[in-house]
Structure 1
Amino acid sequence: ALWDGGLTALRLPSVAGAALAAAGVGATGARLAGGRAGTLAGAVFALLPAVQQYAQEGRSYALVCAAVIWSGHFLLRALDRPAAARWWCAYGAVLALACWLHEFAVLVLLAHAVTLRWLRVPRWVALRWGLTAGAVVLAVSPLVLLSLGQSAEQLGWLGRPGPEVWLGFWLVGGAGALLVRWTRGPGRPLSVLGAWALPPLLVPGGVLLLVSLVRPYYVDRYVLHGLAGLALPAGAALDRALARARRGTGPVGWAAARWLGGAAAVLAVLVPWSLHVRAPESRKDDVVAVARAVERTARPGDAVLFLPGRRREWLLWAPSVHRRLDDLALDQGPRASHTLQGTELPPGTVRRRLDAVDRVLALGDPPGEPLDPYPEEAVKREVLGARFRVCARTEVWGARITVYARPGHCGRGAGTGAGEAGDVGEGTWEARGHGEGGGPGDHGAAAFGLW
């Protein structure tokens, strides 16, 4: 209402969130292992490609990450001065904010409980933590109760984590454990750094993975804040390596060569990955390429269907393209319905509207994606398959645009060069434009200013 800042307004909170999160890692690392270790830990956190990705995207995860990490820092301060109520209040308030930004952040309470158990804090300190944790749960409970009625819609697209997800989780957790063990030394016992690093790294993600064996809930970005548990021991390990190098008795040239070799190896891994997260191929789809493909293919007045309806977001960002098409299933747009993608007509109405047109552009997921089981989506697929023929298909990154027409109405679509493709079998005409045109934004988008 105060400032329509476009992409800057969309992305600035995520950039600020990632910066605050890195600062929180640095502040926590400084209290646990010294100023240089904290600075290195914050730098490691900022360089992690996953952190860079969600610093770009207009979503809540960078802000959640910042709030969770600073809540941990305030808990550390509260344990240093457990009689000071202000640190407990700061811990509870910031963690409640994190949970309101994304309710799965409440799982960090389990990690903090493990940390307190590991550190063997006095019972009265544990009681203070329990009261604060209870206040956090109470504060977020209205959101939890509301979202229980929406869980099928919000998380119904998730599948059970495959072996590669489990392997990635344990590789990251194992790397954190090895770094914690390597940093063990005088004045820096395993119980302190490990208690602060490993539970947040392993517990929230591990709980979601176990729950996902019954009902899929796990996505790695939901526990992005756990990467602080990898950055903290990495910063301490780098600090220890620097200290050893300064005390070393070997030739200076050999020590410099080892450091240069290590830095080159790190850059060889991080730079390609960091460049990848700035390309359309790092996202699930490329909305700019979708809109351009539709613009080339569509005729004035063509009907359009989104399969499923939430894919309407592909064209909503380009209203000049969307306005040219008759959106058959749309009941109310986002502004009128106060929703993200608008609301759709009931299945019977969609069927009648499909019966009244001769040519339809269907914008759907690429092959291999699960089909939505809802009646309104089933009607779209049923009518298109039974009463229309495939005239042409265009595939771009993360999407497929299919031109359907009644028999005899395919003609020559604008820019397709396709005739009656249905006469020679579905899928004989293919034009592939992966990553075509680049793209800003979440869903095929990189940070503004990088294209």
Structure 2
Amino acid sequence: MESAPPARKHPEADISRIAPWRWLPPLAAAALGLWGLERGGSMWRDESVTWQAAHRPLGGLWELLGQVDAVHGLYYLLMHGVFAVWDAAGLPGGLPGGGLWALRLPSVVATALAAAGVAAVGHRLAGERAGLIAGLAYAVAPPVQMYAQEGRSYALVAAAVVWATYLMLRERWVAYAGVLLLGCWLHEFAVLALPAHGFAARRSRGWRRSAGAVAAGLLPLALVSARQAQQQLGWLGRPSWQDWAAYGLAAAAALLLARGASAPRELVRVALPLALLPPGLLLAVSLVHPWYVDRYVLYALAGLALLAGARLGAARGPLPWLLVAALLVPFGWWSAWLRTPESRKDDVLAVAAAVRERARPGDAVLFLPSRRREWLLSSPRVYGSLRDLALERSPAASRSLQGTERPAPEIRAALLEADRVVALLDPAGQPVDGNPGEAVKRQTLVSSFDLCSVTEVRGARVAVFARPGGCP
């Protein structure tokens, strides 16, 4: 005899009747997101790309997406609108400060919505207590807090996947397909939630039709992004042992929480595949095509939070809560660290400040490698005061993110005409690009210039070179 679908387990769990406790997870997520939102006035390079792309005119943004970053196109369009509304309201928009708030507030809001969605799913499948704890567990998870404060799409994708899960349980198939397709257009790896949902709705014709609609709706983006895959993801290597170890720990925790009678069968059937399948499938695919980054499947943490909520909601005795209290200590330290510039790979605003302090009128600038031009593109006043020796066509003119550079002989000739050069380099010990343009930059600086100073900045070095005898 066919069992009843999970959607009918708790018919009283209707979000139209919002009990006071249901405000706690989104409020906690919002409070944590707003805490230290500016991260000491820092911004890392991925956020800088968002800022640059979203500030292009719509025509220029469309041209850019035809060449690169189509996978983030809908998010850039959304952020274009956010910045336009922010500026129209007369709010401070320059970076740092007001611009950082505009850049990151959508992710804060999305994380609060995701926490509310996790609580709603937990309530529907395991009751109010489990739903409350699951929503709070999602809100306090350090990776969730990290991307709640980042000007990228991952928090928005997680919110879409979580609410699509809830709509699946309610058997609202048109809405389910629309919300999940929205998540996929914000980042196409949200489609990995489909096989996870398939475990919970495997007998449903409505889900199969919705899954087909999502796949069909995602196809145009998939075709465009496939052409851009090498340029978009070519920097990635195969998953490291740390990636596999992190997945193994998360999988072990999920399986442990799913064991026993305290975890409702219906919740396990929804939460366990959501926690395991998206990252597991992406890791497996990345053995052939290196595409794995943990933030691409951030939404998998919702499955782990649901399992934790169900287990703690049914817990009796002090031991489980003593374990939670013990985890709050490292979580608290981790959370505080996430609000510092050191929590990201680099700080483009610190790089720009270092350049501003060291550059003189008439100085040239050189980026090693060329993709590090992004460090100054979000500080146009600093960048505009320098001569970019290697640049052939600007990012806007070349319909690219960092612009295109001159051939190697032209770069060398331009360098030999300069008296002082501010060079922006990766940290010491990083691999160097071997293409002719990058090689001639390094060779000419070493052979024809004196190194005047090197300043270490978070994730970067700012070096000043001068012709022999020109250093102060």
Per the normalisation by structure 1, the TM-score is 0.78
Identify the residue that residue 46 of structure 1 maps to in structure 2.
139
Paired with 2:251 and 2:320, the residues of 1 have a C-alpha distance of 25
Aligned residue for 2:298, secondary structure, equals helix
> Which residue identity is paired with 1:94?
V
Note the aligned Cα RMSD (angstroms): 2.2
Identify the residue that residue 15 of structure 1 maps to in structure 2.
108
User: Quick check: 1:149 aligned with 2:227?
Assistant: yes
Paired with 1:32 and 1:268, the residues of 2 have a C-alpha distance of 30
Deviations 1:123-151 (A, max 9, x none): xx2x4322221211111111111112221
User: Quick check: 1:227 aligned with 2:301?
Assistant: yes
Deviation at 1:351, TM superposition (A): 3.1
Deviations 1:398-421 (A, max 9, x none): 111122333333x12xxxxxxxxx
Identify the residue that residue 118 of structure 2 maps to in structure 1.
25
> Which residue identity is paired with 1:3?
W
Change (3 A) 1:110 1:264: closer
* Aligned residues between the structures: 379
Q: Which runs of 5+ in 2 are unaligned?
A: 1-83, 88-92, 94-98
Deviations 1:43-63 (A, max 9, x none): 100000111111101110000
Taking only the aligned residue pairs, the percentage that are identical comes to 56
Q: Which has the higher contact order (CA 8 A, sep 6+)?
A: 2
Deviation at 1:219, TM superposition (A): 0.5
Identify the residue that residue 176 of structure 1 maps to in structure 2.
254
Deviation at 1:270, TM superposition (A): 1.0
Paired with 2:336 and 2:145, the residues of 1 have a C-alpha distance of 10
Identify the residue that residue 347 of structure 2 maps to in structure 1.
286
> Which residue identity is paired with 1:139?
G
Contact 2:452-2:466 at 8 Å conserved across structures: yes
Q: Which moved more, 1:381-390 or 1:33-42?
A: 381-390
Aligned residue for 1:3, secondary structure, equals helix
- Alignment match of 1:206 (pick from 264, 267, 280): 280
> Which residue identity is paired with 2:354?
A
Paired with 2:304 and 2:433, the residues of 1 have a C-alpha distance of 37
Identify the residue that residue 71 of structure 1 maps to in structure 2.
164
User: Quick check: 1:3 aligned with 2:86?
Assistant: yes
Paired with 1:34 and 1:375, the residues of 2 have a C-alpha distance of 63
Paired with 1:100 and 1:368, the residues of 2 have a C-alpha distance of 37
Aligned residue for 1:291, secondary structure, equals helix
Change (3 A) 1:372 1:28: farther
Deviation at 1:10, TM superposition (A): 1.4
Paired with 2:408 and 2:191, the residues of 1 have a C-alpha distance of 38
Aligned residue for 1:367, secondary structure, equals coil
Deviations 1:165-213 (A, max 9, x none): 110111011111111114x24xx543x2221112121111112112222
Paired with 1:388 and 1:89, the residues of 2 have a C-alpha distance of 65
Paired with 1:27 and 1:260, the residues of 2 have a C-alpha distance of 22
Identify the residue that residue 442 of structure 2 maps to in structure 1.
381
Paired with 1:41 and 1:63, the residues of 2 have a C-alpha distance of 19
Paired with 1:346 and 1:89, the residues of 2 have a C-alpha distance of 53
Aligned runs of 1:298-309 on 2, under 5 Å? 298-309=359-370
Change (3 A) 1:202 1:386: farther
User: Quick check: 1:111 aligned with 2:196?
Assistant: yes
Deviation at 1:367, TM superposition (A): 2.4
Identify the residue that residue 139 of structure 1 maps to in structure 2.
217
> Which residue identity is paired with 2:304?
L
Paired with 1:11 and 1:209, the residues of 2 have a C-alpha distance of 28
Identify the residue that residue 173 of structure 2 maps to in structure 1.
88
Change (3 A) 1:291 1:224: same
Deviation at 1:314, TM superposition (A): 1.8
> Which residue identity is paired with 2:251?
G
> Which residue identity is paired with 2:328?
L
Change (3 A) 1:208 1:261: closer
Change (3 A) 1:318 1:261: same
> Which residue identity is paired with 1:8?
W
Identify the residue that residue 452 of structure 2 maps to in structure 1.
391
> Which residue identity is paired with 1:208?
L
Change (3 A) 1:203 1:338: same
Paired with 2:439 and 2:173, the residues of 1 have a C-alpha distance of 52
Identify the residue that residue 425 of structure 1 maps to in structure 2.
none
Identify the residue that residue 320 of structure 1 maps to in structure 2.
381
Per the normalisation by structure 2, the TM-score is 0.75
Aligned residue for 2:259, secondary structure, equals helix
> Which residue identity is paired with 1:358?
D
Contact 2:365-2:388 at 8 Å conserved across structures: yes
Paired with 1:382 and 1:104, the residues of 2 have a C-alpha distance of 41
Change (3 A) 1:43 1:150: same
Aligned runs of 1:399-414 on 2, under 5 Å? 399-409=460-470, 411-412=471-472
Paired with 1:283 and 1:157, the residues of 2 have a C-alpha distance of 17
Paired with 1:375 and 1:143, the residues of 2 have a C-alpha distance of 34
Paired with 2:169 and 2:467, the residues of 1 have a C-alpha distance of 67
Paired with 2:396 and 2:85, the residues of 1 have a C-alpha distance of 18
User: Quick check: 1:97 aligned with 2:175?
Assistant: no
- Alignment match of 2:430 (pick from 352, 359, 369): 369
Identify the residue that residue 356 of structure 1 maps to in structure 2.
417
Deviation at 1:349, TM superposition (A): 3.4
Identify the residue that residue 434 of structure 1 maps to in structure 2.
none
Contact 2:125-2:264 at 8 Å conserved across structures: no
> Which residue identity is paired with 2:117?
G
Aligned residue for 1:299, secondary structure, equals coil
State the structure with more CA Rg. 1
Deviations 1:4-54 (A, max 9, x none): 252232111111111111111111111110012111101100000111111
Q: Which runs of 5+ in 1 are unaligned?
A: 79-86, 246-254, 413-451
Paired with 2:273 and 2:447, the residues of 1 have a C-alpha distance of 54
> Which residue identity is paired with 1:20?
L
Q: Which moved more, 1:370-379 or 1:18-27?
A: 370-379
Paired with 2:298 and 2:175, the residues of 1 have a C-alpha distance of 22
Q: Which moved more, 1:87-96 or 1:193-202?
A: 193-202
